[in-house]
Amino acid sequence: MADVWFDTCEVTCPNCGHVQVEEMPGQLSELKCKGCGEVMHTPKGECCVFCVYGNVPCPDAQIAGSCSCGSEGA
Ligand SMILES: [Zn+2]
Ligand SMILES: [Zn+2]
């Protein structure tokens, strides 16, 4: 069973700290910050920008359950 708990993500820009809510259709390798205009890139070896800069892992990582973002609990 593939269950996705979150389909939106609060992404924090590492450059300016701007937080923007993005829909998560899946993994995303790049995301442009609406605050400063910088493009956030996924560091090599990481899953995607949601897993790196977001408050929840992307749907793929949620399904795989292998992301170590530490958003478990509750
Ligand atoms: Zn920014
Ligand atoms: Zn991811």
Give the mean model confidence (pLDDT) for residues 55-64: 92
What one-letter code names the amino acid at 17?
G
Q: Which residue has the higher pLDDT, 3 or 60?
A: 60
Output the CA 2–ligand 1 centroid distance in Å. Answer: 33
- Average pLDDT of span 5-24: 96
**d(C-alpha 36, C-alpha 17), whole Å:** 9
What tokens were used for 12? 């924090």
How much of the chain, in percent, has pLDDT values that exceed 70?
A: 85
Task: For residue 61, report the distance from its CA to the centre of ligand 1, in Å.
Answer: 24
> What rounded mean pLDDT belongs to the chain?
88
Q: What would the pLDDT profile of 15-47 be if each residue is shown by its tens digit? A: 999 999 999 999 999 999 999 999 999 999 999
